[in-house]
Amino acid sequence: MPMTMSEKILAAHCDRSHVKPGDLIEARLDFVFANDITAPMSIRVFKDAGGERVFDPQRVAMIPDHFVPNKDIPSAMQAKELRDFALAQKLPHYFEVGRMGIEHVLLPEQGLVLPGDVIIGADSHTCTYGALGAFATGVGSTDLGAALVTGKTWFRVPESMRFVYRGKRGAWIGGKDLILYTIGRIGVDGARYKAMEFTGPVIDRLPMSDRFTMSNMAIEAGAKVGLIAPDAITEAYVKSRAKRLYTFYRPDPDAAYEAVHEWDISGLEPQVACPHLPENVRGVSELRDIRIDQTVIGSCTNGRIEDLRIAASLLKGRKVAPHVRCIVIPGTPDVCRQALAEGLYQTFMDAEAVISTPSCGPCLGGYMGILAAGERAVSTTNRNFVGRMGHVQSEVYLASPAVAAASAVAGRIAHPDDVSSI
């Protein structure tokens, strides 16, 4: 029986020869993790269920990345609860401040999540690892707490949708533009509880950083997972990082899909999601008159070294507009080190941007860049709901690092060519 990628991975993890959409299964988990916001609730569930030891300390991570370094007493208490649990359980994959990075940048970088895995995390953007060819999805803290005991969880096998991208990718077009374009076409519920498979000649040539960005935002279309079939680019990324064996799964040529979307992206301009939904997408040229107050370059969506390089290329030799705050947030300590070694920090500081420790920070309205009433931000984050980054009367425009950097210089939403031609 032909199967899609998600069906193959799930079948292998429940010891069946095949599964089909709608099947209810119990699957073995390869990796489980939580952060400083979600772990405390999961830990309480674990203890209430009588849990004494996690199912496998090597397959569990605790990552304080949202409100650390602690911004206030409640966040300090949350981080302490996570820390105490990790130490008591002797978890080798506990990442204290100084080793901590944004979880969805850190875990692939460290080789802890791999192709062919089934992964759950108590964070909705766990779908990021679909870029490696893993079935990775976010769950609630209760399910995560139960999985810490059993090493298993249940799934309804999702229907699959196939997205085929053809044509020539423009100079400033990256994974962020492709996924915003996709969400703009199908809507925030267009793939609800589906497995999105991204494929086609454009994806085949896309670097891992852009693949991570696309899979990261599959949840913004309502998807359960966002998968890219592993290939030589995947292998080059994981082979030196992997801490254990991994498996490449590819869909069968005659697998059944609920829907197939094919798009030629030749001539696509940089995309921007306007307030207050990721589906409210327009080309950047339609938005050039919108004045801004802040740009954020970072997050689990665009906090990798490649993203910082793009931003630095546009900020180099230029200044952030006087009325704009430009906040740069590297995804992990390794990204920090590499950016520093390449001179990107100097570029950012010369441009009068500010550089943060790795943190989710302003993405969820946590700290390090909260918006006041009436303020607008261009951000490389993944959500722009009402009040997402601060006051309910603020606005967030989602865009690529190139658009965010160009906008920081222009003081308004700008096409990268507006700045690069100066």
At residue 374, φ and ψ (nearest 5 deg) are 85, -5
Looking at residue 421, its pLDDT comes to 63
Identify residue 140 by its one-letter amino acid code.
G
- What is the rounded distance in angstroms from the CA atom of residue 237 to the CA atom of residue 109? 9
Which tokens belong to 61? Answer: 């991570």
CB 175 within 8 A of CB 214: yes
Mean pLDDT over residues 8-14, rounded? 97
Identify residue 420 by its one-letter amino acid code.
S
CATH classification of 5-262, choosing from 3.30.499.10, 3.40.50.300, 3.40.50.10490, 3.20.20.70?
3.30.499.10
For 403, the enclosing helix (H) or strand (E) is helix 401-410
- 361-411 pLDDT, tens digit per residue, is 898 888 899 999 999 999 999 999 999 999 999 999 999 999 999 999 999
Query: Any idea what DSSP says for residue 12?
Result: H
- What is the rounded distance in angstroms from the CA atom of residue 173 to the CA atom of residue 265? 9
Query: Any idea what DSSP says for residue 396?
Result: E
Nearest to 324 by CA among 377, 360, 397, 396: 377
- What is the rounded distance in angstroms from the CA atom of residue 9 to the CA atom of residue 6? 5
Q: For 237, how many CA atoms within 13 A lie in the half-sphere containing its CB?
A: 25
At residue 403, φ and ψ (nearest 5 deg) are -70, -40
Strands 294-297 and 281-283: unpaired
DSSP one-letter string for 277-342: -TT-EEEGGGGTT-B-SEEEE-HHHH-SHHHHHHHHHHHTT----TT-EEEE--SSHHHHHHHHHT
Looking at residue 366, its pLDDT comes to 87
**Topology agreement, domain 5-262 and domain 273-420:** yes
Mean pLDDT over residues 326-331, rounded? 98
For 88, the enclosing helix (H) or strand (E) is helix 73-88
- 24-71 pLDDT, tens digit per residue, is 999 999 999 999 999 999 999 999 999 999 999 999 999 999 999 998
Neighbours of 319 (CB within 10 A): 14
Average pLDDT over the chain, rounded to an integer: 96
In the chain, where the domains are located: 5-262, 273-420
- What is the rounded distance in angstroms from the CA atom of residue 42 to the CA atom of residue 121? 11
CATH class, domain 273-420, is: alpha beta
Mean pLDDT over residues 158-183, rounded? 97
- What is the rounded distance in angstroms from the CA atom of residue 396 to the CA atom of residue 384? 5
Mean pLDDT over residues 89-118, rounded? 96
| pLDDT at 420 exceeding the cut of 80 | no
| pLDDT at 422 exceeding the cut of 70 | no
Looking at residue 398, its pLDDT comes to 98
Cα Rg, the chain, nearest whole Å: 21
Which tokens belong to 99? Answer: 């080793």
355 forms beta bridges with: 328
